Amino acid sequence: MVRKKEVVKGDVKSKKRAKASRNFVVALSIVSIIGFFSIVMSSLFYIDISKYIDTLWLMTLGLGLILETSIREIKKIKKIGMTPEILGEITMLIVGGMAIIAGILSLPQINIQNPSFLAVRGIISILAIVFIILQTWVTEKS
């Protein structure tokens, strides 16, 4: 998803691009498909899969967050120390891992309900909204 805008700087025209990473777009697409599939199954076939939907979207967004992290950047922590960028990468990695664990433990067969899992769901929801806004409207110069 690339949107180009021309920006005039003096006499030189440069192009700005808004880039959404492939992993992010795939994760959001899968979450949308999961939601659509749930609606179709319940309304057309009267099959209730709502117990599995939380697990699926937590695991999908968790994997999306983990795939968004740059392991190369995290490995640089030994050389350059903790920077805001590395802290953001580590935070995304930890929250993504917690989302996957919460997704697995919220399977109907295991069904561990814990306030910390509800907090993880809230954090993931807020992060997804923030990432959507940042990936959609924040542009990078190329």
Reported as a single tens digit per residue, the pLDDT across 17-32 is: 545 567 777 777 788 8
Is 5 strand, coil or helix? strand
**Residue 138's pLDDT is what?**
61
14 or 59: which leads in pLDDT: 59
- The CA distance from 44 to 68, in Å, is 35
Instruction: Spell out a b/e string for 64-74, using b for 16 or more CB atoms within 10 Å of the CB, else e.
Output: bbbebbeeeee
Residue ranges making up the domain that contains 24? 2-141
Q: Quick one: pLDDT at residue 132? A: 67
**What is the bridge-based pairing of β-strands 12-19 and 2-9?**
antiparallel
Please report which confidence band the pLDDT of residue 127 belongs to, taking 50, 70 and 90 as the band edges: confident
pTM here is: 0.68
Considering only CA atoms, give the Rg of the chain.
19
Share of the chain above pLDDT 70, in %: 77
Q: How many domains does the chain have?
A: 1
**C-alpha atoms less than 13 angstroms from C-alpha of 114 in its C-beta half-sphere:** 13
Mean per-residue pLDDT for 120-130?
77
In what helix (H) or strand (E) does residue 27 lie, and over which residues does it extend?
helix 22-44
